[in-house]
Chain A
Amino acid sequence: MKVMGAVDLRRDKDSSVVLVSPDSFPEAIKATIPSYPHLITITAVHIDGGIELIYSFDNLRGEMRNIIVRLPEKEASIQSISSYLKGSYIYEMEVRDLFGVNFLGHPIPSARLLLPDSYPTNAPPPLLKTVSLEQLSRILDEAQRQEPPTMLTPVTGSSRYSVESLVILPFGPYHPALKEPEHFAIALEGERIVEAMPRIGYVHRGIEKLAENRTYLQVLFLVERVCGICSFHHSWTYTMAVEKLLGITPSKRAEYLRTLVAELERIHSHTLWIGLLGYWSGFDTMFMWLWSARERIMKLLEMIAGNRVNKSFITIGGVRRDVSDEKLKIILREIAEFEREFRKITDEVMSYDPLIERVRGIGSYNAETAILSGAVGPVLRAAGIPYDIRKIEPYGAYPEISFNVITGSRGDVLSIADVRVRETFESIEIIRQVIEKIPSGNPVPPTFFTGGGRDGEAIARTEPPRGELYYYIRGRTGMKTPYRVKIRTPTLPNLVLASEALKGYTLSDIPLILTMIDPCFSCEDRAIVYVGRRDPFIVKLHRTPPREISGGCTL
């Protein structure tokens, strides 16, 4: 069987890896996009005195193509590809922030994506190998001493906006209609949204740098805490990448148990989201119903792993503890109970006209916009694209489980809700099959892996509740710590889509449309779209002529 997703990037003989020079780079990209329209992410690695950029594409059917280009360390620059693929702009900003690479022709030049405002402009980019964690902390502490933290006042650029009738409304970072810190500059014409520009990064913790300073086993606990909702998927994807790098094969039973916990996580996450949908559309009872049903799943997770949220269930080479047959029986029983409850509640709410009327046709988008933005998960599937990593690149126990990929026919809040409800039922079926087919054996490795890495790189992808999650790990022989860990979470591309989908709707729809993608800013916060106060810049509108917004607009 072809080991999916694990590419020995340099030694691969098939066409999935293309090494190009900066000069022939634009041609290579142009030739790739028609058949590989989904840009997964851009991974940068500072290695051997240069910066390597890996553009990972997928053809939406599970075949990847990696285009690798090497840039010099000093004054690295390369052509931006955002004119071909809109969604790439956010990845380019990430690389610019963390590695100092300049992207020529970028729609938002010289803006920051991830770093705090207090990050000195003359400080080295944080992910360069030439700067240590201690040096960085010292530089930033010093900067903070000179300028103690103050509340950021986002300055609106309304008076400078080239169209006089537009008002720019700063929205967030702490706002009653937002559950997580983020900021949007919303350009309004009357009540209608013309443009929405996100500025995130309030939750940026610098996890990728921390990971380079901890051992392989310690990083497992760190990445679990990238996100407290999909915590298990983060640790699983990381573990998969490490196992591929080191050639470790976990036992079959371990793979089944991992699948079991992953699907329980999907159920609790989807239930949580459907509850929040009720909350944001003024249907509090629905929120309470669903969250109390969800507790049944949380109890199961606690029973399996000993903790509800950050479960620390998985380990490199297996899982940390077995689940006994009695417990599996309890899971079967409870899951049946949950299904009954969940069906009753969703039948009730999804046929409640005021709710349907509130969410139908809100935040609509089509498949083309979704692909161009790079959207993943239920957001992409609701527009009719069956992109599900569990199916196109099966991992864990999924190759032996039969299940359907749920798709919708149009993208809007209602159809995404519908997709999530149906996916929950599908997950329940998967859990039944897992428990029925689970092989016996010992899933716990005799000792925990505490070793180091070896030369090489590995890619792993999974399908958490919010969509494709991507990990890239580079190891070095003799190093106890990973040389580079790159994480691409699903909310980042989905946010590009949400900003698109906001256009044309009114202020009161913002919470619903933002909730639509089930944003998780803790996951995503490696991203900020920020423009310096005095920097004139151009925001390129999708399919409309560029409009100039200059001066004090904090995006």
Chain B
Amino acid sequence: MARDNLRMIRKSPWVFHFNSGGCNGCDIEVVAAFTPKYDVERLGMTLTSSPKHADILVVTGPVTRQVAGSLKMIYDQMPEPKIVIAIGTCACSGGIFRGGYNVIGGVDKIIKNVICVPGCPPNPRAIYSVIKKLYDNKIGGDEGNGSSRS
């Protein structure tokens, strides 16, 4: 599945956005990427409110203890094939909150095979270009092999 992730998704890829305890900075930039200036919607993407309709899981935040279970469950509910993108340094590693008593520190502690987009927060242009690369099928997670960086 590794490299052919998106090729296997025949429909326009839909995105489910999960805030796992971030500062809201990444979340707003993700939403901004969907608005006219960056407009990833032109690639057929849209934000969906049900994980069961989603092909891409976008996770922001350092994963607090309280949401870890929900994250796992939402990931499990998504149909195969699925792609997980960790947006922001927090989601990649815990970022500035690493070491806090209530943060687990990074999406890859819960889900394997994550594409990391570091930045605090990454610019919508960066988010756009990652999604565009994915769309053009240039990168994909290495299955079962921890995270790969974009």
Task: Give chain A's interface residues, CB within 8 Å of chain B.
Answer: 115-119, 126, 133, 136-137, 140, 144, 149-152, 173-174, 176, 179-181, 201-207, 209-210, 213, 221-222, 225-229, 231, 272, 287-288, 291-292, 295, 298, 308-310, 520-523, 525
Asked whether, in the complex, the Cβ of A221 is within 8 Å of the Cβ of B96, the reply is yes
Asked whether A226 lies within 8 Å of B23 as measured between CB atoms, the reply is yes
Please tell me if the beta carbons of A206 and B28 are within 8 angstroms of each other in the complex. Answer: no
Asked whether, in the complex, the Cβ of A228 is within 8 Å of the Cβ of B27, the reply is yes
With CB as the reference atom, state the residue of chain A lying closest to B66. Answer: A116
B101, A133: Cβ atoms under 8 Å? Answer: yes
Contact of A117 with B26 at beta-carbon distance under 8 Å, contacts A140-B102, A225-B120, A291-B32 already known: no
Given contacts A227-B24, A291-B35, A309-B28, contact A201 B50 (CB under 8 A): no
0/1 string, B53-82, CB within 8 A of A gives 1: 000000001101111111011100000000
What interface size band does chain B fall in? 35 or more
Inter-subunit contact B49/A176 (CB<8 Å): yes
Query: Would A310 and B25 be within 8 Å (CB), given that A205-B100, A206-B102, A210-B99 are in contact?
Result: yes
* Main SS class of interface, A: loop
Interface flag for B108 (CB, 8 Å): no
Interchain residue pairs with CB less than 8 A apart (26): A119-B65, A140-B65, A173-B67, A179-B19, A181-B21, A181-B70, A203-B21, A203-B61, A203-B64, A204-B21, A205-B100, A209-B100, A209-B101, A210-B99, A213-B99, A222-B96, A225-B23, A228-B25, A287-B35, A291-B32, A295-B32, A308-B121, A309-B25, A309-B28, A310-B121, A522-B21
Is B42 in the interface zone, CB < 8 Å from A? no
Q: Which residue of A lies closest to B51 (CB)?
A: A174
Contact A149 B68 (CB under 8 A): yes
A228 touches B24 (CB 8 A): yes
CA–CA, A210 to B74, complex, Å? 29
Q: Is the CB of B72 within 8 A of A520?
A: no
Which 3 A-B pairs have CB atoms at the shortest separation, nearest pair first?
A228-B25, A176-B49, A149-B68
Question: With a CB–CB cut-off of 8 A, which chain B residues contact A152?
Answer: 66, 69-70
In the bound complex, how far is the Cα of B26 from the Cα of A496, in angstroms?
26
**Cα distance A201–B70 when bound, in Å?**
14
A205-B64, A206-B100 known; A288+B23 contact, CB < 8 A: no
By the criterion CB–CB under 8 Å, are B68 and A206 in contact? Answer: no
The answer to whether B68 and A204 have CB atoms under 8 Å apart is no
Report Cα–Cα, A310/B25, bound state, in Å.
7
Residues of A within 8 A of B74 (CB): 174
A225–B18 alpha-carbon span in the complex (Å):
18
Q: Contact check, A151 vs B72: say whether CB atoms are below 8 A apart.
A: yes
Q: Report A-chain residues with C-beta under 8 Å of the C-beta of B23.
A: 225-228, 231, 310, 522
Q: Does B144 contact A (CB under 8 A)?
A: no
A204:B64 contact, CB within 8 angstroms = yes
Minimal Cβ-Cβ distance residue in A for B36:
A292
Identity of the chain A residue whose Cβ is nearest the Cβ of B123 in the assembled complex:
A308
